[in-house]
Amino acid sequence: MSNGTQEEEIKSPWMIRGTTYDTLKFFVMVILPGLSTLYFTLGAIWGLPAVEQVIGTSAAVTTFFGLLLRHSSKVYDASDERFDGAIKYNESPDGSKMFTLEVPGDPNELSNKDVITFKVAHE
């Protein structure tokens, strides 16, 4: 396969966003492993049925959703969606520097955020 495979994956429009991503991540990182451990432990103590099958299924589901989350993170990190705007940098022929702040949408919305991230764009 060519290098295009990696670029195609990064340019994929598919991305899980916001609370859906956070909820799925919590489910994959905390809930599924916790439930698996609980079933494994109780299965050994109480002789619950199909412990290996349940734990194996849980591991497969956790891995699959982990892959989806990883792909979504990779797409998000490669996109401009993670930025709140851009700081454009321009140097004139006389050596003076000018910075311009570009914020898409209403700049007043930035006051509601705890963290603001800008992309630096050289012109």
Co-location of 62 and 104 in the same domain: no
* Residue 29: both structure tokens together: 């990182």
Co-location of 94 and 45 in the same domain: no
Co-location of 50 and 61 in the same domain: yes
Which whole number is the average pLDDT over 92-113? 87
Higher pLDDT, 6 or 78: 78
Which whole number is the average pLDDT over 64-81? 90
Q: Measure Cα distances from 62 to 6, 7, 81, 82 in Å.
A: 24, 26, 27, 26
Report which DSSP code applies to 11: T
Question: Mind listing the pLDDT tens digit for each residue in 83-92?
Answer: 989 999 888 8
How much is the pLDDT for 2?
A: 41
Question: Mind listing the pLDDT tens digit for each residue in 10-35?
Answer: 445 668 888 999 999 999 999 999 99
Domain that holds residue 68: 4-80
Judge contact between 97 and 90, C-beta under 8 A. Answer: yes
- The count of structural domains within the chain is 2
